[in-house]
Amino acid sequence: MKKRKWITLLLAAVMVLNMAACGGSGEEASTEDADSAPATETTEDGETAEAADDTVWDIKVSGHPYLHAMASQYAIDQGYFKCEDPIVDMYSGGPVQNEAIASGAWDVGTTGSGGIALGAVGYNLKAIAFTIPDENTVDLWVRADSPIAQLEPDENGIYGTADDWRGKTIICNTGSSCHMMFLAFLEYLGLSESDVNLIDTTVADSYAAFKAGTGDAVALWSPFGFQAEEETDWVKVASAVQLGLNQPCVVVATEDAIENNWDGVYAYLKAYIQAGNDLTADPEMAAQMLYDFEEEQGISMSESAAQKDIENRPFRTVEEQIELFTVREDGGCEANDILMQFAQYLANQGKITEEDMARLQEEGMVDTSFMEAYVEEMGAAQ
Instruction: Say if residue 168 is in the same domain as residue 53.
Output: no
Between helices 303-312 and 283-296, what is the axis angle to 10°? 120
Residue 231 belongs to what domain range? 136-239
Q: Which of 239, 271, 297 is the last residue of a domain?
A: 239
For residue 365, count other CB atoms closer than 10 A to its CB. Answer: 27
The Cα 359–Cα 23 span in angstroms is: 12
- DSSP characters for 174-233? TTSHHHHHHHHHHHHHT--GGGSEEE---HHHHHHHHHTT-SSEEEE-TTHHHHHHHH--
Instruction: Say if residue 206 is in the same domain as residue 354.
Output: no
Instruction: Say if residue 124 is in the same domain as residue 261.
Output: yes
Q: Which of 239, 273, 306 is the last residue of a domain?
A: 239
Residue-wise pLDDT for 135-171, tens only, equals 999 999 999 999 999 999 999 999 999 999 999 999 9
Q: What average pLDDT score do residues 326-352 get?
A: 94
- 244 part of a folded domain: no
Q: Does the pLDDT of residue 24 top 80, yes or no?
A: no
Give the number of domains in the chain. 2
- 358 part of a folded domain: yes
- 321 part of a folded domain: yes
- 245 part of a folded domain: no
The residue length of the chain stands at: 382
CA distances (Å), 95 to each of 92, 100, 166, 195, in order? 9, 9, 26, 23
- Tell me, what's the pLDDT at 381? 67
- 307 part of a folded domain: yes
- 247 part of a folded domain: no
Q: Does the pLDDT of residue 35 top 50, yes or no?
A: no
Q: What is the mean pLDDT of the chain?
A: 89
Q: What average pLDDT score do residues 33-61 get?
A: 58
Q: Does the pLDDT of residue 10 top 50, yes or no?
A: no
- Tell me, what's the pLDDT at 63? 98
Q: What average pLDDT score do residues 104-114 get?
A: 97
The percent of residues in the chain predicted with pLDDT above 90, rounded, is: 84
Which residue type occupies 169?
T
Instruction: Say if residue 314 is in the same domain as residue 204.
Output: no
Show the CA angle centred on residue 161, arms to residues 157 and 165, nearest 5°: 110
The closest of 342, 93, 64 to 200, measured between CA atoms, is: 93
Question: Which residues are paired to 326 by β-bridges?
Answer: none
Cβ neighbours for 140, distance < 8 A, ≥ 6 positions apart: 170, 181, 182, 185, 217, 218, 219, 220, 236, 237, 238, 239
Instruction: Say if residue 90 is in the same domain as residue 44.
Output: yes
Q: What average pLDDT score do residues 347-372 get?
A: 95
Model confidence band, residue 9 (pLDDT cutoffs 50, 70, 90): very low
Among 9-18, 53-62, 264-273, the least confident range: 9-18
Instruction: Say if residue 124 is in the same domain as residue 193.
Output: no
Instruction: Say if residue 196 is in the same domain as residue 313.
Output: no
Model confidence band, residue 379 (pLDDT cutoffs 50, 70, 90): confident
- Tell me, what's the pLDDT at 317? 95
Q: Report which DSSP code applies to 326.
A: -
Instruction: Say if residue 365 is in the same domain as residue 259.
Output: yes
Instruction: Say if residue 370 is in the same domain as residue 271.
Output: yes
The percent of residues in the chain predicted with pLDDT above 70, rounded, is: 86
Question: Taking phi first (over 0 means left), then psi (-120 to 50 degrees means alpha), and beta for anything else, what does residue 216 get?
Answer: alpha
Give the CATH number for residue 328: 3.40.190.10
- Tell me, what's the pLDDT at 265? 98
- 246 part of a folded domain: no
Residue-wise pLDDT for 263-294, tens only, equals 999 999 999 999 999 999 999 999 999 999 99
Q: Does the pLDDT of residue 90 top 90, yes or no?
A: yes
Q: Report which DSSP code applies to 112.
A: -
Instruction: Say if residue 265 is in the same domain as residue 372.
Output: yes
- 160 part of a folded domain: yes
Q: Does the pLDDT of residue 49 top 70, yes or no?
A: no
Instruction: Say if residue 19 is in the same domain as residue 69.
Output: yes
Q: Which of 239, 270, 290 is the last residue of a domain?
A: 239
- Tell me, what's the pLDDT at 378? 86
Instruction: Say if residue 156 is in the same domain as residue 259.
Output: no
Query: By CB neighbour count within 10 A (0-12 exposed, 13-18 middle, 19+ buried), where does 92 fall?
Result: middle
Model confidence band, residue 382 (pLDDT cutoffs 50, 70, 90): low
The closest of 174, 213, 217 to 193, measured between CA atoms, is: 174
